[in-house]
Structure 1
Amino acid sequence: MFVSCFSREESKHSKTENHEQDILQASLSISLKPGERAIFNVFDVYRRSIALKNATTKDSLFEEKIWIDKPLLLVSGNVLVVPDGDPILRIYGLLLSPGDSVVLDRHDDGALSMHYSSGLPNFVDSLIVVPKDFYEHDGKRQQKRLAEIGVAGITQDIDAAFQKNETAIAALAMPEVKARLLSSLNSNIKYTAIAHLLADPAVASSGLTDSLYEDLFQHMDEIRSIDATTKGTIFGALIAYNAKKQHGDVDKTDMWEAAAYADQQLKQTDMYKQHLVSAVAGTFVHSPKEITAINKELQSIHTQDPFLDTLYQLTNILSATFTDFSQAKAALKAFAGGRYRFIIEDNEQSANHEMKVITDLPPVELHDFAGNKSDFKRIVMNKDYMLTLVDLWASWCVPCIMEMPDLKKTAEKFRDKPIRFLAISIDKEEDVDKWVAVAKKNAIYNKPNQYRLANFRESPLTKLLNIRNIPRYLVINNEGRVLDEDFYRPSESSFELELLKLLD
């Protein structure tokens, strides 16, 4: 999954396909120095992170109110650069319950520490052993272990790690409620490891894997008791294994094929339905162009199950947001008693995918490295070029900088084509020195088509396209039509191919 550098707080009402739930606040506070930021990955219907940033000129404490109806696992990571050694990735897992209040300190090296907590006394990684694979699965390592010790050996290791953590939890002598919470997370770690095993295409069904599947199925309520980033992994593995068991030729890695061929017992569970709704909602918000692909998948299977037909109709409506947003919004409100209207209403500005134009925008001021001013529209609508690919980045955005080499390679390949590659930093005025320093380090300083967007927060471009996450790539033609407001990243295999299609 890609990393982005901004986020926002969602609605305080969590809406599912069955009902609306009133939920409670948890409070997360963190002390940050000027320019510092902290990002926490989370699980919900379609949000992927919570970001806090100090945009002031003094050390400050920032608070985020998080609306939850069950314990929520937040995950933050940072890289410690060690002189003459390999960088060290440090991960911090924070388990919040409704009503909890937590205050964190961020240190000079980026490390986090617990200053105060009304819930668990420390990060979960400091209380029990949380394997790195829980946060980021290493498929190659699993293949190697399968070859060495097989499914039975891996299962034994999973059970041993689970029991070791249970012993550690008992030794902490915490209040029973907190001990149960930590034990539930320990179970989630165990079930995530089992899920990775069951979802592996190289793992065939057997009596052992059937028992592992039954263990997951029987403990679905416990798995759902915590909103962890791995919940989708577990539910996806359950569906994939079940479908493969029913039809041996099912591809475990094809989510929608698995959804079609799962048995009726599984299809009747809330887990099955919520997992698929979450997949649709998450795709619509984070990769809206992929909704059409999901719609095509559902078109071929929607007659096999009433719920799949519901999702097919839902994706028909969501696809219409690209052509007539108002009509699509009204249709979604009326569809299925309005139970899916949250997909648009909770994130309405981002949900409007109608093609936008920049022709009527007020001046969008850009500055080059020398401080000279230019107008975005004049640059983009230059008739010497058919298209402009806009790279929105910032000096503090590591994922943005990681994309630069691939973007440079593509620009070189396309140098004889009628396309301009325009890089625009969203760094603030007081961060110009940082912008310059990063530009010099990456050999783009004083190169053509390098600019900084003036007053990012209030810029007409920011408001038109609801720019919240970077890296962000735009494709605009010389008539000012925004052909794609969230284009593929340069590191993706589709990047160059899709550019060629737009140039054709």
Structure 2
Amino acid sequence: MKWSFLFLLAAIRVSAQTAEPPKTVMAVRFDNRSQLIFNALSEDQTGTDISFRNPGRTDTTVTKHLSYQKPFHIYYANVDVSQDGKTFAATQRSLLLLPGDSVVLDRNGRHFVFGSYSPGYLDELLDLTGLYFPGFSVITKQLQTKGLAGMIKDIQQRYIDNERKINAFAKEPPVTEALHNFNYLIKARGIMAIPKEQAATPAGKKILDSCYTGFENNISKIAALQSPFTHSILYNILTYRTYRAGKPTTNIWDYFATTDPKIASTELYRSFLLNLLHGNYKGNTDQLKNNIARIKKAGIEDPRYDSLLQAKIALRENQTLQAVASMEDIKGALLNYFNFIRSQKGSYLFVDFWASWCGPCRRQMPYLKKLLPDFAGKGIKFISVSIDENDKIDDWIAASKDEGLYNNPYNFRLEQGSHNKLLKILEIRSVPRYLLYDPEGKLISAQFITPDKKEFKEQLLKEIKAK
């Protein structure tokens, strides 16, 4: 075990040093079929999990390379249940990592082995009381026994004691600075667990106003770390300020008017709003657009907001297209019309929309069939798409046999036939209808002339030669 870890350390050190920008490398030694999931805030501010899994039957080491531009905090929580199933104990473990760090954990993450910068599990170095919210009932009991002033005094004393431990720890300046900022985050979380309604009395207002003013003035300390708790701290600052202004705190989109300008100008605030836009998006791009407009109206600009909107619109459109453009081949295999078009990249596609019951459609087929040899080897494929209804599949199959299409691999039928919304998207109101796509999948003719026309052959050859 010792030599395997020494080899692993050497490997991840080289990996961390050669990556640009510097990667943080984490390696976790696992028993068989085990996993470890850390809560984290991703670099794009959208929140994420960092998961290590060993699904196999043998012990192994799982390694991940993480990209962060500043010190970041991650933590995991385990719940251990007693054998009788009646009691349980929750265990949280926090890590503070720096860009370019190399970290090794053993025993499914329970044991910290090595960190090139990381001081190890912070629970073993600092008092983290208050970092993980203890629950409303615990806070209520503490307020009853100690009062607001007593609780604040305890939190401040833990902060001072932690500062002494950090100063005695004697690590490199970037690590020490990150630890100081993390300690401030612990303090903020502890105070923010106290209900804001404690400010209803003059004495409570004075105490909490002083605390939150301090948080606003030291927002740079909170922003210096990438932590799963960073945005919740900012949220509590905004909530308290809105509450103190006598305004409802039920709708966060109403907070902009009360936000301190020095906070609104920070990258933390802009990324917080980006995370908020992500989290509140429920598939309604119009609502997303309105929320972005409200942000901009408050004088807050960030190109990531518009990028998010465009990405969601594109995703929505793609999901719509995927849902409505389903078709089947003669054997019943389903595929998507647009996916099929993209899969034929490199060839021109002549698409014939028809139906078994459509006399004009079927009268055109002999003309087209007669011309097919003239297009052999010219980089064009001829596609047939029937709009026969689902209860007329037998008619489609029979007509396909009659027209010599049955064994054609490019013979399809739209799911739901003439009711498939693909026809509306392509603005096909009647059949026959002929479409022409270029080798890049771009529609270059939405209504090509019928095959019985004398100029059909010449025009189609001109199209595929000219492109």
TM-score using structure 2 length: 0.57
Partners of 1:321 and 1:353 within 8 A in 2: no
Q: Hey, what does 1:495 align to over in structure 2?
A: none
TM-score using structure 1 length: 0.53
- The Cα shift of 1:113 comes to 0.3
Q: Hey, what does 2:105 align to over in structure 1?
A: 104
Q: In percent, how many aligned pairs have the same letter?
A: 21
Whose radius of gyration is greater, 1 or 2?
Answer: 2
Residue 126 in structure 1 maps to residue 121 in structure 2: no
Show the 5 A alignment for 1:484-495.
Answer: none
Show the 5 A alignment for 1:18-29.
Answer: 23-29=21-27
Show the 5 A alignment for 1:86-101.
Answer: 86-101=87-102
Q: Hey, what does 2:59 align to over in structure 1?
A: 59
Partners of 1:31 and 1:61 within 8 A in 2: yes
Structure 2 CA distance for partners of 1:60 and 1:355, relative to 1, 3 Å: same
List per-residue Cα deviations over 1:263-296 (Å, max 9, x = no partner): 4444333332221122213445xxx437665555
Partners of 2:103 and 2:118 within 8 A in 1: no
Amino acid at match of 1:118: S
Show the 5 A alignment for 1:316-331.
Answer: 317=310, 320-321=313-314, 323-325=316-318
Amino acid at match of 2:80: L
List per-residue Cα deviations over 1:401-432 (Å, max 9, x = no partner): xxxxxxxxxxxxxxxxxxxxxxxxxxxxxxxx
Q: Hey, what does 2:213 align to over in structure 1?
A: 214
Q: Hey, what does 1:346 align to over in structure 2?
A: none
Q: Hey, what does 1:289 align to over in structure 2?
A: 283
Which secondary structure state, in structure 1, belongs to the residue aligned with residue 67 of structure 2?
strand
Structure 2 CA distance for partners of 1:261 and 1:158, relative to 1, 3 Å: same
Structure 2 CA distance for partners of 1:24 and 1:229, relative to 1, 3 Å: same
- The Cα shift of 1:33 comes to 2.7
Which secondary structure state, in structure 1, belongs to the residue aligned with residue 120 of structure 2?
coil
- The Cα shift of 1:65 comes to 0.2
Most deviating of 204-213 and 155-164 = 204-213
Show the 5 A alignment for 1:92-491.
Answer: 92-107=93-108, 112-131=110-129, 133-136=130-133, 138-197=135-194, 200-201=196-197, 203-204=199-200, 206-245=205-244, 247-251=245-249, 253-284=250-281, 288-289=282-283, 301=294, 304-307=297-300, 317=310, 320-321=313-314, 323-325=316-318, 356=323
Structure-2 separation of matches of 1:139 and 1:358: 51
Partners of 1:27 and 1:65 within 8 A in 2: yes
Structure 2: 5+ residue runs without aligned partners? 1-19, 335-418, 422-467
- The Cα shift of 1:302 comes to 5.4
Which secondary structure state, in structure 2, belongs to the residue aligned with residue 206 of structure 1?
helix
Partners of 1:323 and 1:353 within 8 A in 2: yes
Amino acid at match of 1:276: L
- The Cα shift of 1:125 comes to 0.7
Amino acid at match of 1:29: A
Partners of 2:46 and 2:274 within 8 A in 1: no
- The Cα shift of 1:67 comes to 0.5
- The Cα shift of 1:153 comes to 2.3
Structure 2 CA distance for partners of 1:310 and 1:98, relative to 1, 3 Å: closer
Structure-1 separation of matches of 2:32 and 2:328: 32
Structure 1: 5+ residue runs without aligned partners? 1-21, 326-351, 363-374, 378-478, 482-504
Structure 2 CA distance for partners of 1:320 and 1:250, relative to 1, 3 Å: same
Partners of 1:196 and 1:237 within 8 A in 2: no
Structure-1 separation of matches of 2:126 and 2:169: 10
Structure 2 CA distance for partners of 1:118 and 1:266, relative to 1, 3 Å: closer
Structure-2 separation of matches of 1:79 and 1:480: 50
Most deviating of 147-156 and 224-233 = 147-156
Structure-1 separation of matches of 2:197 and 2:420: 46
Partners of 1:302 and 1:309 within 8 A in 2: no
Partners of 1:243 and 1:263 within 8 A in 2: no
Structure-2 separation of matches of 1:175 and 1:312: 37
Structure-1 separation of matches of 2:259 and 2:313: 29
Which secondary structure state, in structure 2, belongs to the residue aligned with residue 226 of structure 1?
coil
Amino acid at match of 1:324: E
Structure-2 separation of matches of 1:302 and 1:74: 29
List per-residue Cα deviations over 1:219-273 (Å, max 9, x = no partner): 111111111111011111222223334x31231x532111343244443333322
Amino acid at match of 1:113: H
Amino acid at match of 2:259: A
Partners of 1:240 and 1:262 within 8 A in 2: no
List per-residue Cα deviations over 1:279-337 (Å, max 9, x = no partner): 213445xxx437665555666x5585232898986776455345424xxxxxxxxxxxx
Partners of 1:134 and 1:192 within 8 A in 2: yes
Most deviating of 229-238 and 168-177 = 168-177
Partners of 2:26 and 2:103 within 8 A in 1: yes
Give the RMSD, CA atoms, in angstroms: 3.7
Which secondary structure state, in structure 2, belongs to the residue aligned with residue 68 of structure 1?
coil
Partners of 1:92 and 1:125 within 8 A in 2: yes
Structure 2 CA distance for partners of 1:312 and 1:230, relative to 1, 3 Å: closer
Which secondary structure state, in structure 2, belongs to the residue aligned with residue 93 of structure 1?
strand
- The Cα shift of 1:358 comes to 10
Q: Which has the higher contact order (CA 8 A, sep 6+)?
A: 1
Structure 2 CA distance for partners of 1:62 and 1:303, relative to 1, 3 Å: closer
Structure-2 separation of matches of 1:29 and 1:150: 45
Which secondary structure state, in structure 1, belongs to the residue aligned with residue 61 of structure 2?
strand
Q: How many residues align?
A: 311
- The Cα shift of 1:75 comes to 0.7
- The Cα shift of 1:159 comes to 0.2
Structure 2 CA distance for partners of 1:165 and 1:298, relative to 1, 3 Å: same
Structure 2 CA distance for partners of 1:33 and 1:209, relative to 1, 3 Å: same
Q: Hey, what does 1:394 align to over in structure 2?
A: none
